[in-house]
Structure 1
Amino acid sequence: MPENKATNYPVNPPKLHHTTFTTLRMDQMVQWYGLVCGLRPVFQSDEASWMTNDAANHRIALLSPPGLKHPTDKGHETGIHHTAFEFATFDMWLNNYIRLRDHGVLPFLTLDHGITMSVYYQDPDGNGVEIQVDGFGDWAASSEWIATAREFAANPIGIFFDPEKIVLAREEGMSFQEIHERTRAGEYLPATIPEDIFLPEVW
């Protein structure tokens, strides 16, 4: 692993706790994050909502202050591209894809990054939301891989895949490891390869 030469890191760094979005679609956003990520409102009003899906008091906050405007070119403006949520197992991750598909919620981007297998959705405001599973089933192993693998350095974005081909592979009895390896080898490519990873415009 390359030596970390940074000298200004805190000895006890804080942990990432939540992300806050501004929105003019409060009810839609609350419902969407409930469906996709299992986030339930701890507090909700027309002006603000705090939502969680674990023991934390909130993981996503939504604010709707007076005078708020929609973005003009969100997909090509700087800022957060997406937030990410992780499932502990491949089966949980794929079952969630199937559940959302059956609700008519489909990803706009699907990538095997090596460190994760990931499907990307857009919330009602066009923010990206990644739902992932660790490609190694272990953070220590995936951390080692991202830091040292020439494969990742050469292609950090990863390999596109068709999630329906992944579903079929599991139905045929393939293990997560085998599916992951075959995905990395390009065996489950979608019919159309996206030209970029920009957020699609929803306005």
Structure 2
Amino acid sequence: MQPVYYAEHAAWLTNDEANHRIALLRLPGTKPPVDKPHTAGLHHTAFEYESFDQWLDNYARLRDQGILPAVNLHHGMTMSMYYIDPDGNGVEIQVDAWHDWAVSKEWMWASQEFSEDQVGPQFDPEQLLAARASGLDFDTIQKKAYAGEYTPADANPDVSFPDVWPARLAAQPELADGVPAGEGALPIGID
């Protein structure tokens, strides 16, 4: 995403020719969420990579910076890695499992598998990297992942996002007072 305009408490971003696709606002008086992963509101935004290699290379790039996904799921139509941003919002990084939106949309609509399980199996991205390094192609890897062959050793049946706010409030109790108005306001947190 590229910023079109940003100010001390806001940013408008786009990933195409539109004037903006996402607006991030830190309005005065905004209070921190309570149990964010389990209450109504924004759950996650999704971004799709064009190819499996780009998607998996992005995982390795982020991993090397110490940024790891909270959960990795093969939904059948996409393979998705879910990250948590500093405010506890989910960010899904995905690749289409069928190389074609029309085919994956048809699979979603018509398959018995998706009607029975919309979440799908977890996978370990390190095992995907190893499978690719051994010479397996994306179609083979994604089929094996959907069959549960790359399940992480520490797979947790609870695939909900962790709540980052209790630790943030413990470290910065002043956040509980909400975003102050005027001078001295907290930074928006966007680079």
Please give the per-residue CA displacement for 1:1-28, whole angstroms capped at 9, x wherever unaligned: xxxxxxxxxxxxxxxxxxxxxxxxxxxx
Give the gaps of 5 or more residues in structure 1.
1-38
Q: Residue 164 of structure 1: which of 126, 131, 135 is its match? A: 126
Map 1:139-158 to 2 at 5 A.
Answer: 139-158=101-120
Please give the per-residue CA displacement for 1:84-138, whole angstroms capped at 9, x wherever unaligned: 0001111111111111111111000100011000000011100001000001010
Partner AA of 1:52 in structure 2? T
Distance 1:44 1:69 in 2: 21
What is the CA distance between 1:79 and its match in structure 2?
2.0
Residue aligning to 2:188: none
Distance 2:62 2:18 in 1: 24
Residue aligning to 2:83: 121
- TM normalised by structure 2 equals 0.83
Give the gaps of 5 or more residues in structure 2.
166-191
Question: Is 1:134–2:96 an aligned residue pair?
Answer: yes
Residue aligning to 1:182: 144
Question: Is 1:105–2:67 an aligned residue pair?
Answer: yes
Residue aligning to 1:55: 17
Please give the per-residue CA displacement for 1:14-64, whole angstroms capped at 9, x wherever unaligned: xxxxxxxxxxxxxxxxxxxxxxxxx22211111210112332222221111
Percent identity over the alignment?
Answer: 55
Determine which structure has greater relative contact order: mean sequence separation of CA pairs < 8 Å that are 6+ residues apart, divided by chain length: 2
Q: 3-state DSSP class of the match of 1:57? A: coil
Q: How many residues align?
A: 165
What is the CA distance between 1:155 and its match in structure 2?
1.3
Partner AA of 2:34 in structure 1? T
Q: 3-state DSSP class of the match of 1:104? A: coil
Question: Is 1:65–2:27 an aligned residue pair?
Answer: yes
What is the CA distance between 1:189 and its match in structure 2?
0.3
Residue aligning to 2:4: 42
Q: 3-state DSSP class of the match of 2:42? A: coil
What is the CA distance between 1:192 and its match in structure 2?
1.5
Question: Is 1:85–2:53 an aligned residue pair?
Answer: no
Distance 1:55 1:173 in 2: 38
* Farther off after superposition, 71-80 or 167-176: 71-80
Residue aligning to 1:7: none
Q: 3-state DSSP class of the match of 1:105? A: coil
CA RMSD, Structure 1 to Structure 2 (Å): 1.1
- TM normalised by structure 1 equals 0.78
Residue aligning to 1:18: none
